[in-house]
Amino acid sequence: MARKIKIPNEHLKRFKREEQKRKINVRNKRRYYLIVCEGEKTEPNYFQGLKEDLPKGVLTWCQIDIEGTGRNTQSLVDEALRLKKWYEQEYNRPIDKLWVVF
């Protein structure tokens, strides 16, 4: 009976490993956010400050637009829906997230 040749583990792992294939046609989807605020100055300034404090890489894959309207609650929701429709028609891109801030 012949003896089996023992192959060291590090060689087995190296030969077992699959080659890393380069990804083809893979790109992060850019996301669009629209924030509609009740106040005209305070809330947009607050969100603009938060937007500036985000890490640099975040704004490459998402875009945040901030609108201050100065309306009450029900008309603010109606205005947010109107702005969303306008942004989608004007810029020809879907709004992924719509935030209404009271």
CB atoms within 10 A of CB 35: 21
9 in any annotated domain: no
- Choose among 62, 68, 99, 102: nearest CA to 81: 99
pLDDT at position 20:
66
56 in any annotated domain: yes
List the domain range (segments joined by +) for residue 82.
27-101
What does the pLDDT profile of the chain (102 residues) look like in tens digits?
Answer: 567 777 777 776 666 666 666 777 777 678 899 999 988 888 889 988 988 888 877 877 888 888 888 888 889 999 999 999 999 999 888 899 999 988
Maximum separation of any 2 CA atoms in the chain, in Å:
90
**CA 56 → CA 40, 46, 60, 91, 93, distances in Å?**
27, 18, 7, 24, 23
- Choose among 18, 58, 44: nearest CA to 101: 44
81 in any annotated domain: yes
pLDDT at position 98:
92
